[in-house]
Amino acid sequence: MSLYIPKEYHAQLVPETMEQAIKMLKSNFQEELSRQLNLRRVTAPLFVLAGTGINDDLNGVERSVSFPIKCMGDRKAEVIHSLAKWKRMKLGAYRIPANYGLYTDMNAIRSDEDLDNLHSLYVDQWDWEQTITEEDRNLEFLKATVRKIYEAMKCMEQTVYETYSHIYPILPNEITFIHTEDLLKEYPHLTPREREIEAVKKYGAIFIIGIGGFLPDGEIHDGRAPDYDDWTTPTTDGHKGLNGDIIFWNPVMNSSIEISSMGIRVDKKALLNQLKIKGCEERTNLEFHKALLEGTIPLSIGGGIGQSRLCMYFLRAAHIGEVQSSIWPEEMIDICRENGIHLK
């Protein structure tokens, strides 16, 4: 069990007020995100059919929660890991034009998760996807989109302060962009996680570009599935990758907190290249991959934004269990309670 206990921790809000704050945060943020990115809300599935290629396989090692469907000859359904591919298919089904998109509530169960202050068996996030053009598939468009999302987060932080005046804003005015290769050059003797911490401690809020592809040392910064984010396309700055993570410095935990994973999605060329790199070219026979290669799915940019993580950060909570209900080891519950951290 991994658990960090802040010294002399005190919750910023009593439980009753915390519930009100969570409701306010979730309601207001999704409206601001929708305004910034021209998104409309849609309803999403909790599970999809196995074997279609629609479910996100994350790093390829996490097991999905599954069950047989009696009235369909016991065909297997899987609880989604994320909606990265489903959203893109819906852009095509709804014929959403470029510069417009959709968002939804994504609820997932990740039974292989290592539970700690940030990780839960239950994942709740806003999944969003926006149709783009071929001309939009570049680094500057990615950065412009990140800035819009960051602006929505800054607006939310100000709203929290105006509602609860003892919770002061701490985000910097601008988010800093850093490529994984540059992080490796600056901190060659640190692990990828340690590099993130050093960078975000310095800047307060960063977007790390190029996650999933091999770095000059032969390693990857972090895992990415080969069939949604584009982490191989060369960019004008001499690097590769059109995806990344939004990460904030979290003073309560004295560490970093990843708020969002996002990116420009693969086109035909990037899909085939990344499937080959990962050794899973057989996926081209799956429903999602066939549709993409046949051109019936539009080009897009998209990502996920952690709902509970965003609430945890803005309300200065020490554990994600303070802002969401889940299952926790009894030992973790006891240690947290002894230190003023009350898990739901």
Q: pLDDT of 206-231, one tens digit each?
A: 999 999 999 999 999 998 989 999 99
Measured over the CA atoms of residue 328, residue 79, residue 22 and residue 316, the dihedral's sign is positive
Residue of 110, 137, 195, 309 with catalytic role: 110
Residue of 30, 32, 56, 88 with catalytic role: 56
Residue 105 lies in a domain: yes
Residue 93 lies in a domain: yes
Q: What is the pLDDT of residues 82-122, one digit of tens each?
A: 898 899 999 999 999 999 999 999 999 988 889 999 999 99
State pTM to two decimals: 0.94
Nearest to 331 by CA among 123, 116, 121, 118: 116
pLDDT classification of 55: cutoffs 50, 70, 90: confident
Lowest mean pLDDT among 54-58, 162-166, 287-291: 54-58
Residue 119 lies in a domain: no
Residue of 57, 136, 181, 245 with catalytic role: 245
What residue has token string 């949604």? 228
Q: What is the DSSP letter of 277?
A: H
Round to whole Å and give the CA distance between 84 and 289. 13
Which 3 state secondary structure label does DSSP give 246? strand
Residue 310's contacts (CB-CB under 8 Å, 6 or more residues apart) are 25, 29, 153, 156, 259
261 assigned to active site: yes
Residue 47 lies in a domain: yes
Residue 329 lies in a domain: no
56 assigned to active site: yes
Residue 37 lies in a domain: no
Angle at 163 between CA 161 and CA 169, to 5 degrees: 5
Residue of 62, 116, 258, 287 with catalytic role: 258
Round to whole Å and give the CA distance between 333 and 310. 22
Domain extent for 252: 42-112+129-303
Residue of 34, 64, 82, 125 with catalytic role: 125
Q: What is the pLDDT of residues 27-41, one digit of tens each?
A: 999 999 999 999 999
Residue 149 lies in a domain: yes
Q: How many structural domains comprise the chain?
A: 1
Residue 48 lies in a domain: yes
Residue of 64, 120, 261, 308 with catalytic role: 261
CATH of the domain at 86: 3.30.930.10
258 assigned to active site: yes
